[in-house]
C-alpha cells in the first residue's frame, strides 16, 4: 500500500477512534438526577386493594380486579393487570424537544395473551413522530428498555399497555420509567472513578454543546445508548480495564478541551492548518514514492 494511502487510512482511523471515544462519554449522567415522568409508575396508588383502579392511568375495557398482587408483581405490592382482549392502560406525559429519554418497563403474559407495550412520541397536533413497540406471549417478567431521542417538534409521549388474545388472556405490567438521558452504568464515570472528575466534565460539556444540539450528534448519542450498558457492565466487572479506558479516552478529552476552549475563528484556523499539514505530507510522500519508482 502507498504511504500516502497509509497516512490517509491512519488519519481516518484516528478520527473514527476519537469520535467513538467522544461518543462513549455520552453515558455520563446529567448533573442532577432525572425524575421519572411516569405517574404512579409501579401501580402502587391508591394504597387500598387490587380492586381499585390505579391512579393516573386511563383504562379501557379493564374490569375488576384492575391490579394484581404477589407473586404477580415485579416490585412493590401491586402490578397492572389486564385480562380482557383489547384491554389497555394509557398515560400521556409532556416531553422536551431534541432530548434523549430512557424508557423502561417490565411485563409478563400467559400463554393465551399477547402483551403489548408501546410508546408514541407525538407532535402538539397529535401526529405520531416516533413509535417503539414490544410484544410477547407466555413469559415471566421481562425488561423492555430503549433510549429514545425526541425530534425538534416533539410534544408528548403516549404510553400504552395492552393485552390481546382469545380464551383467558392475562398480562401484567410494572415499574415503568420515562426519564431524561440517564445511564447509571456509565463506563467513563466508572473508569474515572468519579463523576466529578474534570475529564468527565469536559466530555459532558462537549456532548451538551456539540452533540445533542444537532441531528448527527443525537443519532450518535442514541446509537451509543443502545449499545453502552453491556460494555459498561463488562468494564465494571473487570477493574483491570479501567486504567486502559482512562488512557484510551485521553485523545477524546484533549479534542473536547480544545474544541470547548477555542473560538470559531481559532477552530477554523486550526482546521485549516491541520488540512495543510496533512495535504503537504501526503503530496511529499507521493512524490517520494514516484522518485523511488523512477530510480528502480
Ligand atoms: Ca408495583
279 C-alpha to center of ligand 1: Å?
62
Which whole-number Å values give the CA distances from 241 to 43, 162, 187, 237, 246, in the listed order?
Answer: 40, 43, 10, 9, 9
pTM (2 d.p.): 0.59
Q: Give Cβ neighbours of residue 81 (< 8 Å, ≥ 6 apart).
A: 50, 65, 66, 67, 68, 72, 170, 171, 172
21 C-alpha to center of ligand 1: Å?
38
pLDDT at 252: 81
292 C-alpha to center of ligand 1: Å?
75
Which whole-number Å values give the CA distances from 201 to 122, 173, 181, 228, in the listed order?
Answer: 33, 37, 16, 19
Each of the 296 residues of the chain gets a pLDDT tens digit; together they read: 566 666 666 666 666 555 555 555 444 444 445 789 999 999 999 999 999 999 999 999 999 999 999 999 999 999 999 999 999 999 999 999 878 888 999 999 999 999 999 999 999 999 999 999 999 999 999 999 888 888 889 999 999 999 999 999 999 999 999 998 644 334 555 555 565 677 777 877 887 788 878 888 888 877 777 676 667 667 666 778 778 877 887 888 888 888 888 888 888 888 888 888 888 888 898 888 888 877 76
229 C-alpha to center of ligand 1: Å?
24
Which whole-number Å values give the CA distances from 134 to 38, 110, 222, 260, in the listed order?
Answer: 18, 16, 18, 40
For 58-180, CATH gives 2.60.120.260
Which residues belong to CATH 2.60.120.260 in the chain?
Answer: 58-180
pLDDT at 212: 77
pLDDT at 119: 98
104 C-alpha to center of ligand 1: Å?
14
pLDDT at 80: 98
Amino acid at each position: 500500500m502507498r504511504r500516502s494511502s497509509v497516512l490517509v487510512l491512519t488519519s481516518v482511523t484516528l478520527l473514527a477512534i476519537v469520535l467513538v471515544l467522544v461518543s462513549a462519554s455520552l453515558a455520563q449522567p446529567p448533573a442532577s438526577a432525572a425524575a421519572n415522568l411516569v405517574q404512579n409508575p409501579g401501580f402502587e396508588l391508591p394504597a387500598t386493594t387490587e380492586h381499585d383502579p390505579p391512579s393516573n392511568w386511563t383504562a379501557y375495557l379493564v374490569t375488576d380486579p384492575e391490579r394484581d398482587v404477589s407473586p404477580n408483581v415485579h416490585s412493590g405490592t401491586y402490578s397492572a393487570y389486564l385480562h380482557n382482549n383489547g384491554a389497555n392502560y394509557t398515560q400521556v406525559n409532556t416531553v422536551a424537544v431534541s432530548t434523549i429519554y430512557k424508557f423502561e418497563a417490565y411485563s409478563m403474559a400467559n400463554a393465551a395473551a399477547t402483551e403489548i407495550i408501546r410508546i408514541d412520541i407525538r407532535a402538539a397536533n397529535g401526529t405520531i413522530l416516533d413509535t417503539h413497540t414490544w410484544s410477547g406471549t407466555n413469559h415471566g417478567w421481562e425488561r423492555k428498555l430503549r433510549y429514545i431521542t425526541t425530534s425538534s417538534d416533539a410534544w408528548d409521549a403516549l404510553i400504552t399497555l395492552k393485552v390481546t388474545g382469545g380464551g383467558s388472556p392475562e398480562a401484567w405490567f410494572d415499574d415503568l420509567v420515562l426519564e431524561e438521558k440517564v445511564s447509571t452504568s456509565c463506563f467513563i464515570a466508572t473508569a474515572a472513578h468519579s463523576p466529578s472528575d474534570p475529564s468527565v466534565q469536559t466530555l459532558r460539556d462537549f456532548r451538551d454543546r456539540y452533540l445533542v444540539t444537532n441531528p448527527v450528534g443525537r443519532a450518535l448519542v442514541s446509537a451509543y445508548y443502545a449499545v453502552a450498558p453491556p460494555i459498561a457492565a463488562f468494564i465494571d466487572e473487570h477493574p483491570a480495564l479501567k486504567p486502559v479506558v482512562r488512557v484510551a479516552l485521553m485523545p477524546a478529552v484533549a479534542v473536547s478541551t480544545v474544541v470547548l476552549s477555542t473560538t470559531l475563528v481559532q477552530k477554523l484556523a486550526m482546521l485549516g492548518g491541520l488540512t495543510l499539514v496533512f495535504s503537504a505530507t501526503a503530496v511529499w510522500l507521493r512524490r517520494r514514492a514516484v522518485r523511488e519508482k523512477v530510480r528502480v
